[in-house]
Each structure stands twice: as C-alpha cells, then as structure tokens.
C-alpha cells in the first residue's frame, strides 16, 4: 500500500516528496475532484494525505468521499502555516463522539 498527498501548496508537496510520498498540488475544486477520482481508482493507494485547507474550503466534497468510500483512508494534515484546529481538538472530538465530557 502506498501513501499519496493532495496538497494546496508546493512546500508540503516538496517535503512529502523528499520523504518518498508521491502527490499532486491542486488549487481549484475541479482539480481536487480529478485528483480524488485518480486516487479512488488506484487500488495501490492505501492512505491519502490532504492538507487541512481542503477540509475547510471544500467540506462537501471531502465528506462525500470519506462517507462513501471505505478505501483509502483520508487523513488531513497541517500545511506549512500550521494547523487551523483548536489546541483541544482531539479532546473535543472524543467528547462529541462519545457524548461525555472528559
């Protein structure tokens, strides 16, 4: 199984390329759709890394792919500017998932 990066900037793509992860840089929604279609068609790709900007800018597209496809695993990663998430993101996520405040 391979990893694949879909990034909105060249810096993240370059860093992952140096680590041996293939990928593509896209900026528009249509480009993102094409990249996701390519990834979904390739059965060798097991993990897709997406920069967080796509989750913020195109949540409908990203959520649709996550909900309707069991394979590959989609993981959002911070870009060169850092994460856009709150410091207690994981705790809030767990609280929401189980319905209890930790």
Q: What residues of the chain score a pLDDT lower than 70?
A: 80-87, 89-90, 93, 101-102
- DSSP letter (8 states) at residue 14: H
Beta-carbon contacts of residue 80 (< 8 Å; ≥ 6 apart): 9, 11, 12
Question: What fold is seen in the domain 2-98?
Answer: Rossmann fold (3.40.50)
Which two tokens mark 9? Answer: 């900037």
Which two tokens mark 46? Answer: 């097991």
Percent of the chain with pLDDT over 90: 56
Structural contact between residues 50 and 23, judged by C-beta atoms closer than 8 angstroms: no
pLDDT for the residue numbered 3:
95
Cα torsion 14, 18, 19, 21 to 10°: value is 60
Structural contact between residues 51 and 24, judged by C-beta atoms closer than 8 angstroms: no
45-51 sheet: strands from edge to edge: 22-25, 2-7, 45-51, 73-77
Tell me which residue has tokens 């909105």.
8
- Stated pTM of the model: 0.78
pLDDT for the residue numbered 70:
87
pLDDT for the residue numbered 38:
95
């Amino acid at each position: 199984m391979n990893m694949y990066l879909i990034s909105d900037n060249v810096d993240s793509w370059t860093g992952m390329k140096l680590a041996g992860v293939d990928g593509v840089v896209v900026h528009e929604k249509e480009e993102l759709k094409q990249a996701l279609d390519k990834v979904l068609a390739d059965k060798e790709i097991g993990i897709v890394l997406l920069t967080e900007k796509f989750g913020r800018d195109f949540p409908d597209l990203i959520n649709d792919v996550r909900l309707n496809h069991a394979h590959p695993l989609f993981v959002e990663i911070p870009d060169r500017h850092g994460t856009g998430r709150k410091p207690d993101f994981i705790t809030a996520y767990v609280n929401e998932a189980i319905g209890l405040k930790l």
